[in-house]
């Protein structure tokens, strides 16, 4: 049996440096240094922190304390900063300050470049996150002027040559406060039982020309970044909320993917082309869900398939200006379930992690943190967008032209073996296969033969098969492993509505790769889709804008010369690298700001007790998630015993009391502290409630130490990677 690693830093033991990714002691960052590259930043990233005076000197405590704990600020270098201010600092050469460093005990010396504002101001803390990660938060005058010049009415001359869809019943369905609307939908039930589904996307490419002043800025941003009370848009408001937004009742230029879908959810025909549209009505998710609830289409009834469930306690005033919208919404709900069933049948993984709902007042202060319920109305749009993204990607792959794909690679076998070791604690096992070799088909001079074999392989039983082109342009088929996404879905179904559901879902998510952009066809494991793209959000994602330009240039035929293909491929490689980086930074920023807001909210409840679930187990403590989606940590120094850490089974076991704490276990905690600058919440464990899952319970060792060694050790953090995107 593999020996367990005991927990470190307890009862006066010397604390050892944490490995990269390890977290903090209560109220402090993790010990040790982690490479800054592990958390990507953009070129404009700055060092932010909180300024304090102490005697004759000032000091800044950096917000990111993985490498530097404290920076001395000499007199005359504080730029007017006051106690408690958030500031941006720059490190100064320290050769001439050696004596000062030796006598003061401070290793780093710097100067204040800019004062952001009072650190007690919630908006200042958000700005510190923005500046620390290098996000672009304002436009210059030339960019704003260029956007204003484009924000003009759509004329008949401007729309000449486009199919006119203004008389069709098109609606938008978004969040209640959404102003940058880039997708609309339409649906007709055909006489033969099939559906004609239209996904209509804002034609941003018509306005934002390649290499223009607005395009260069959009490329640098990569995507819009959304916070609870604000947004950093990829495009200026004149475009994102103006001429490019599919606002109701006005003419707009669009890119439409109109698909004929059969009763099994298969696309049997389609067109992809620029169009002229006029949205009939702007709807929101809550409004549509309220109507569906009254018609027997509640989310619960739809997902369980147990028939209709009419919810009578819905507002009576739910209606639409155009009553013909109502039957279309019912058809949309029906088609949504058909598409969802077909997607799950092919192996698409359907995680159901709770999403946070954070409400703020006008000053940016948090007034509520809760769990956002999943709605059928949101699933309708999600399924329609997935289908359009797949249709577009499949079409241009078959045309053999360079394209920008959204890829999600097959998880490596080594990671799957580790996953199964952890799943064993719950009596579960993920079906995996053996490693297969890479097979090659075709050559640069015979690409069509290679492509004809590639789809045939994809139709086979090897679900991990993906198609790509190597550096020489040869079409290859890769087999990373024989793991099938069905295996993930089977496990999710096995633990559905059980106490261990959240823990097992966390383990499965952690084993997956992060979705990214690539000009190579590497497949989308999470969606069980061989070809997938991002086509549906050009207002807020640069890859979608790049794809629209390709479509408009090539049309449905997709013909390019060899030289044009070479040039396009080079651009797509640059696009993929930049936009994948920007997306990771945006996710990090959104997660950090959410944590700041949650910590601020919990600061009003210090001393309160809550029921929670262990969401992560490490050698230095337990991460615990509350029902309202707040996550905090009970550091090992607060546990009343000596504990050993079993890394394989993600368990802390007490030496004297024989208690054990493991992933998914229910516990009761007390809020003891919050760090408003870092977004940390500290808990103290009160009691544990044993969950009835296989292999989980109180430790009952036969020997003195059942799991192995008893002295200090260290291990990788097992915290859930919140926000990991698989789509």
Pick the CATH number of 46-133 from 2.40.50.690, 3.40.50.620, 3.30.420.40, 2.40.50.140: 2.40.50.690
- Report pTM: 0.83
Of the candidate ranges 134-138, 199-203, 561-565, 630-634, the one whose mean pLDDT is the lowest: 561-565
pLDDT at residue number 1 = 43
Q: Where are the domains of the chain?
A: 1-28+606-727, 46-133, 147-379
Q: What is the pLDDT of residues 53-101, one digit of tens each?
A: 988 789 999 998 877 888 999 888 999 999 999 999 998 876 656 666 6
pLDDT recorded at residue 307:
55
In this model, does residue 690 exceed pLDDT 90?
Answer: no
Is-contact 538 182, C-beta < 8 A? yes
The CATH architecture one would assign to domain 1-28+606-727 is Beta Barrel (2.40)
Do the beta carbons of residue 185 and residue 200 sit within 8 Å? yes
At 533-554, the pLDDT tens digits run 999 999 999 999 999 999 999 9
pLDDT at 418: 84
* Residue 413: pLDDT over 90: no
CA neighbor of 251 nearest in space, from 145, 179, 162, 323: 162
* Segment 226-279, tens digit of pLDDT: 999 899 999 999 999 999 999 999 999 999 999 999 999 999 999 999 999 999
Range among 57-61, 305-309, 608-612 rated most confident: 608-612
The 3-state DSSP class for residue 520 equals coil
In the prediction, which pLDDT does 432 show?
74
Mean pLDDT of the 311-336 span: 83
> pLDDT at position 310, please?
65
pLDDT of the residue at 529? 93
- Domains 1-28+606-727 and 46-133 are alike in CATH topology: yes
- Segment 381-398 mean pLDDT: 97
In this prediction, residue 520 carries a pLDDT of: 95
Per-residue b/e over 218-253, b at no fewer than 16 CB within 10 Å?
Answer: bbebbbbbbbbbebbbbbbbbbbbbbbbbbbeebbb
User: In the structure, what pLDDT confidence band is assigned to residue 688 with cuts at 50, 70 and 90?
Assistant: low
Residue 315 pLDDT level (bands cut at 50, 70, 90): low
Averaged pLDDT, 510-515: 91
The pLDDT-based confidence of 294 (bands split at 50, 70, 90) is confident
DSSP category for residue 196: E
Q: How confident is the model at residue 316 (pLDDT cuts 50, 70, 90)?
A: low
pLDDT tens digits, residue range 94-143?
Answer: 665 666 666 666 778 899 999 999 999 999 999 999 999 999 999 999 99
Give me the phi and psi of 579, to 5 degrees please: -70, -30
Tell me the pairing of strands 680-689 and 516-518: unpaired
Statement: residue 312 has pLDDT above 80: no
* 295, pLDDT greater than 50: yes
Which of 31-35, 122-126, 365-369 has the weakest average pLDDT? Answer: 31-35
Q: How confident is the model at residue 17 (pLDDT cuts 50, 70, 90)?
A: very low
Which pLDDT score, from 0 to 100, does residue 66 have?
Answer: 77
pLDDT greater at residue 432 or residue 418: 418
More confident residue, 21 or 630: 630
Contact 375, 383 (CB under 8 A): no
- The percentage of the chain sitting over the pLDDT mark of 90, rounded to a whole number, equals 59
Q: Tell me how crowded residue 26 is: count the other CB atoms within 10 A of its CB.
A: 18
pLDDT of residue 719: 35
Instruction: State the chain's mean pLDDT as an integer.
Output: 82
Cα–Cα dist 217/506, whole Å: 36
pLDDT attached to residue 550: 96
pLDDT band at 222 (very low <50, low <70, confident <90, very high): very high
Alpha carbon of residue 246 to chain centroid: 25
**Measured CA angle at 132 (ends 128, 135), to 5 deg:** 95
Give the pLDDT band (50/70/90) at residue 180: very high
Q: Are 25 and 9 in contact (CB under 8 A)?
A: yes
| pLDDT confidence of residue 57 | 84
Dig out the tokens for 558 from the structure: 């997709």
pLDDT at residue 318, rounded to an integer: 64
Identify which has the larger pLDDT, 19 or 200: 200
pLDDT of residue 461: 34
What's the helix, strand, coil split of the chain in %, to 5? 30, 25, 45
Q: In the chain, pLDDT over 70 holds for what percent of residues?
A: 79
CA distance 182 to 201: 6
């Amino acid at each position: 049996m593999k020996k367990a690693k005991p927990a470190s830093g307890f009862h006066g033991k010397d604390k050892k440096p944490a490995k990269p990714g390890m977290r903090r002691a209560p109220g402090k960052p993790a010990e040790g240094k982690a490479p800054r590259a592990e958390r990507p930043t953009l070129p404009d990233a700055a060092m932010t922190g909180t300024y304090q005076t102490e005697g004759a000197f000032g000091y800044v405590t950096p917000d990111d304390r993985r490498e530097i704990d404290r920076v001395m600020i000499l007199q005359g270098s504080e730029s007017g900063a006051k106690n408690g201010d958030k500031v941006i600092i720059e490190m100064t050469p320290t050769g001439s300050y050696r004596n000062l460093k030796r006598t003061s005990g401070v290793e780093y010396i710097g100067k204040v470049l800019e004062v952001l504002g009072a650190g007690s101001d919630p908006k200042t803390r958000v700005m510190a996150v923005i500046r620390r990660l290098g996000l672009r938060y304002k436009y210059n005058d030339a960019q704003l002027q260029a956007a204003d010049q484009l924000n003009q009415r759509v004329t008949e001359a401007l729309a000449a040559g486009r199919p006119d869809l203004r008389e069709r019943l098109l609606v938008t369905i978004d969040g209640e406060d959404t102003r940058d609307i880039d997708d609309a939908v339409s649906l007709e039930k055909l006489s033969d039982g099939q559906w004609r589904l239209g996904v209509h996307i804002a034609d941003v490419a018509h306005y934002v020309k390649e290499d223009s002043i607005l395009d260069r800025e959009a490329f640098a941003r990569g995507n819009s970044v959304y916070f609870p009370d604000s947004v950093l848009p990829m495009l200026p408001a004149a475009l994102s909320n103006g001429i490019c937004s599919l606002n109701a009742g006005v003419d707009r230029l669009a890119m439409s993917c109109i698909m004929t879908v059969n009763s099994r959810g298969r696309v049997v025909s389609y067109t992809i082309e620029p169009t002229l549209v006029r949205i009939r009505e702007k709807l929101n998710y809550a409004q549509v869900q309220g109507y569906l609830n009254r018609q027997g289409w509640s989310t619960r009834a739809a997902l369980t398939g147990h028939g209709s469930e009419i919810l009578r306690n819905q507002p009576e005033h739910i209606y639409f200006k155009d009553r013909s919208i109502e039957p279309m919404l019912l058809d949309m709900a029906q088609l949504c379930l058909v598409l969802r069933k077909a997607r799950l049948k092919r192996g698409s993984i359907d995680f159901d992690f709770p999403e946070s709902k954070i409400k703020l007042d006008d000053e940016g202060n948090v007034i509520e943190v809760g769990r956002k319920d999943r709605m059928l109305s949101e699933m309708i749009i999600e399924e329609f967008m997935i289908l359009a993204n797949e249709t577009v990607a499949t079409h241009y792959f078959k045309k053999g032209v360079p394209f920008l794909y959204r890829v999600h690679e097959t998880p490596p076998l080594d990671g799957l073996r580790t996953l199964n070791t952890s799943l064993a604690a719950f009596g579960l096992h993920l079906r995996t296969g053996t490693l297969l070799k890479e097979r090659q088909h075709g050559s640069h001079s015979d690409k069509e033969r290679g492509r004809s074999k590639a789809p045939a392989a994809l139709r086979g039983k090897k679900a991990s098969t993906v198609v790509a082109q190597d550096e020489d342009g040869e079409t290859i088929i890769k087999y990373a492993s024989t793991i099938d996404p069905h295996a993930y879905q089977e496990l999710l179904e096995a633990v559905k509505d059980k106490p261990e559901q959240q823990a097992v879902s966390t383990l499965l998510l952690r084993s997956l790769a992060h979705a990214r952009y690539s000009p190579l066809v590497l497949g989308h494991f999470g969606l069980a889709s061989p070809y997938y793209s991002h086509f549906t959000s050009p207002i807020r994602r640069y890859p979608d804008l790049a794809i629209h330009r390709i479509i408009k240039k090539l049309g449905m035929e997709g013909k390019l010369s060899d030289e044009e293909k070479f040039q396009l491929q080079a651009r797509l490689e640059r696009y993929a690298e930049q936009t994948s980086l920007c997306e990771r930074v945006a996710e990090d920023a959104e997660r950090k700001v959410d944590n700041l807001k949650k910590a601020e909210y919990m600061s009003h409840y210090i001393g309160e007790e809550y029921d929670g679930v262990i969401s992560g187990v490490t050698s230095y403590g337990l991460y615990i998630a509350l029902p309202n989606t707040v996550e905090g940590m009970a550091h090992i120094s607060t546990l009343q015993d000596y504990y050993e850490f079993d890394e394989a089974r993600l368990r802390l076991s007490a030496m004297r009391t024989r208690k054990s704490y493991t992933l998914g276990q229910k516990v009761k905690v007390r809020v003891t502290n919050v760090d408003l600058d870092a977004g940390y919440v500290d808990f103290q464990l009160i009691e544990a409630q044993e969950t009835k899952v296989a292999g989980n319970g109180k430790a009952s060792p036969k020997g003195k130490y059942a799991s192995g060694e008893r002295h200090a050790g260290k291990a990788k953090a097992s915290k859930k990677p919140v926000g990991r995107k698989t789509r």
